Amino acid sequence: MARCLVTGASGYIGGRLVPELLAAGHDVRCMVRSAGRLRDLPWAGRTEIVEADARDLGRTADALRGIDVAYYLIHSMSGGRDFAAADRQAARTFAAAARRAGVRRIVYLGGLTPEPGEGRAVSTHMSSRAEVGEIFLSSGVPTVVLRAAVIIGSGSASFEMLRYLTERLPVMTTPRWVRSSTQPIAVRDVLRYLVAWAAIDEEVNGDFDIGGPDVLTYAEMMNRYAAVAGLPPRLIIPVPLLTPRLSSLWVGLVTPVPASIARPLVESLRTQAVCREHDIARYVGDPPDGLIRFDLAVSLALQKIKEVDVATRWSSAAVPGAPSDPLPTDPDWAGGSLYIDQRSAVVSAAPEELWGVIEGIGGENGWYSLPVAWKIRGVLDRLVGGVGLRRGRRDPLRLRVGDSIDFWRVEEIEHGHLLRLRAEMRLPGLAWLELSQRLENGRTVYYQRAVFHPHGLLGHLYWWTILPFHGLIFGRMPRNVAAAARDTARRGRGDGPRVSPGG
């Protein structure tokens, strides 16, 4: 097994590569500028973490001491005017430090660009990545440069731009680059290639194009994404007037991806990015079922939202074996839109008394907020073919996973602590209601969280339309649940009237 150093371990690929290397049995050292960024990751305790800047020769050489394979996953996306010079300096310093430390191999993930002389202008960011690759290949340290185009995985900047544009704009006027061909690759295949080079003994110094089985235009990727996500086909109208700068500002306006990051992505999409060879198969063979196709890669990137345990969707998705899922270190704009209404209240009752109210919610016991509003919502749901409120509860006091409660389904229950309900009403998206209680500093605290993942533009419009009603309904619930728990405590002592679960 190899001793591996991973730079950029707090980034998109690095944060997914580390647990994959650990799972393969390799020893991992992470080189980051701030160790604090890795502190709470589930795999951090199984690695060695060192602080160093790739432009500091001494500290980088120390970080590389005793390392067999060094993964260089550093590049500037929005580094200002001098980003190319900074990338050049960092690569040269890292290469010199690796040579001094006796590193056996450098592995660098770059970008897929046209060959020189093909008549296509290459963006400055892509030119910088190509230059970094050449620096390593001529460094005297055997180097493997992997060149990829669009990486499909939740959290990838390219994928997030594709996700938001497709979901939010059923009709869009787009720049000419939507007709450029590219060869996207699933993040799982990228990681498979990266991990494999830690175990290959043969000395190799060269670059390899890596891509999935599909060659698509950006417009085709948007429509294929829409099909996988269950959205209607998108109407895409290319216009010739949008420059990369205007395009990036447009992307920044429509999506949460910052314009400073969108611009290099847009610039890279202006040119064709299709693999010219598949020589890597000589060293890393294709899996038995082949490389992951685009539609499946999109499905894998979206599946965490649709799975049962929504709580892990945004807070603990860094699980080995699911490298396409979002990580806590991903940027805030990664992972698709997720609307959250979160509230809490201190309760003058014991935790078990509060839990009794939580577990007894719904059905004849009501929802502790504006009963007429809940009834109207139930009627509206039935009018559009939903289940409405007619199902009630199986048991007035006890719940188990899979039970129906009105138009909700019990998705998870941790008795005495947490109840998570998934909406089964007709909605343009997915919705959950999570109720929990904790004992904090000797006080019982009630927590309530409503979560909505919109499906297309209609889902976003739905959320903003009902937001004022959410304020009325979900705003009253903590107060009334707390009052019901206090009532339970008083009745236990025989000294008070019962509080209604209404609003």
Q: What residue type is 289 in one-letter code? A: D
Tell me the pairing of strands 181-182 and 171-174. Answer: unpaired
Residue-averaged pLDDT of the chain = 83
Q: Is 503 within a domain?
A: no
Residue with token string 């290949």: 137
What is the pLDDT, as a whole number, of residue 214?
95
Give 227-278 pLDDT, tens digit per residue. 998 888 888 777 766 565 666 666 666 666 666 666 667 666 767 789 999 9
Neighbours of 402 (CB within 10 A): 10
- Nearest Cα to Cα of residue 303 among 291, 292, 317: 317
Q: Which CATH number fits the domain that encloses residue 377? A: 3.30.530.20
8 A C-beta contact, residue 198 and residue 309: no
Instruction: Assess whether 193 and 96 both reside in one domain.
Output: yes
Residue ranges of the chain with per-residue pLDDT less than 50 = 79, 119, 305-322, 496-499
Question: 356 lies in a domain?
Answer: yes
pLDDT of amino acid 377: 83
Residues 207 and 137 sit within 8 Å (Cβ to Cβ): yes
* CA neighbor of 210 nearest in space, from 240, 186, 238, 230: 186
Give the per-residue pLDDT at 280.
Answer: 95
Alpha-helical regions (H) of 334-407: 351-359, 371-383
In this structure, is residue 29 part of a structural domain? yes
367-417: per-residue pLDDT in tens? 998 888 888 888 887 777 676 776 778 788 888 887 888 888 888 899 999
For residue 344, give its domain range.
339-493
Please state, in angstroms and rounded to a whole number, the distance separating the CA atoms of residues 345 and 440.
Answer: 12
**Is residue 332 domain-resident?**
no
Residue 185 · residue 109 · CB < 8 Å: no
Task: Tell me if 423 sits within 8 A of 432, measured CB to CB.
Answer: yes
Mind listing the pLDDT tens digit for each residue in 133-156?
999 999 999 999 999 998 998 878
Whole-number Å distance between alpha carbons of 283 and 268: 28
If asked whether residues 273 and 381 sit together in one domain, one would say no
Structure tokens at 68: 């067999």
Q: Give the CATH number for residue 225.
A: 3.40.50.720
User: pLDDT at position 317, please?
Assistant: 30
The two tokens of residue 56 are: 């500091």
Q: How many domains does the chain have?
A: 2
Element (H, E) at 228: helix 218-228
Q: Are 283 and 193 in contact (CB under 8 A)?
A: no
Q: Is residue 323 part of a domain?
A: no
Residues 362 and 395: their CA atoms lie apart, in Å, by 11
Q: Which CA distances in Å does 405 have to 51, 81, 382, 408, 422?
A: 51, 58, 15, 5, 10
